[in-house]
Amino acid sequence: MVTSRALVERNAETMDMVSFSSDENPRSVQLYGVDPQVMAEAVRIIVDENRADHIDMNFGCPVPKVTRKGGGSALPWKRDLFRDIVRAAVQASDGRVPVSVKMRKGIDEDHLTFLDAGRTAAQEGVAWVSLHGRTAAQMYGDTADWQAIADLKALLEPLGTPVLGNGDIWTAQDALRMMEQTGADGVVVGRGCLGRPWLFGQLVAAFEGEPIPADPTLDGVLRTLRRHAELLVADYGEHKGCRDIRKHMAWYLKGFSVRQHVRHSLGTVASLAELDELLGQIDGDQSFNTEVGSGPRGRTSGNRRPTLPDGWLDSPYLDEASACSLRDAEISVSGG
């Protein structure tokens, strides 16, 4: 995900993030922004320079550094601002590239926004709406509310706008179950693919009614981990690439028996040679532990009071004080 302002300012790191290899298709870029004009200009850059085949606007980030300025999952509370940003993006694309929206249920259970925001996005012409069935207050805790996804699907069905469900998709079976229970047109996978990139192949098979491929043995997982590290190093260099792969180690190895000192050393790996030496110490002849390995992974924090600008909840419409908070809301790169 990149911020619209960083893209408009042609930040070097951001421009690299919206550059794709010739064999990557479809190319999708997720934008985060709080200013309609800046968002429109960012969309025009992507479309005019043929940088992506799809643009998604992220209004779902719940982390305090984003919401405290009014961005991310706090923004849809300001109905007029949300509408203006979505409208600006859709109009800037002018039908050349589909534009979608991803959001959460709302700020908390007392300040839900997903139905109003979903309707607004549909009326402004987005290609689809993705809903994470949690509030900002829930972060990544509790169980995702799939009923909210069903409610949004029912609301937008007459408008012809597809709804994708997000939250607690850990396996292909979870995806099928969500679609059956909610009527969603598809799913969005977040934490579920961390350390499990083969999940996408399993999803394709499930959606096409084909047998779902089995999870790999540990030997297959280690080969995938090694390839992941190799690609990171090719893109970022050995120092940064190895530093980045460290956070993936626990996700890849979840559910497998690996000696503690090896796990610890993998978390500080500094070169591909060191990685190879450590991977060589692991017994790869282990089956995937579906019960453990297919469960929740990544961020699990939840149930915290959202950090918001002073007076943000006083009105669902943008006032001068709220506008001032938003001026510092964009950072170079964010996530959620």
Residues annotated as catalytic are 61
Residue 17 has which token pair?
């993030």
* Contact criterion met (CB below 8 Å) for 35 and 24: no
What distances in angstroms separate CA 300 from CA 16, 74, 145, one per listed residue?
30, 20, 16
CA distance 128 to 100: 5
* Contact criterion met (CB below 8 Å) for 299 and 289: no
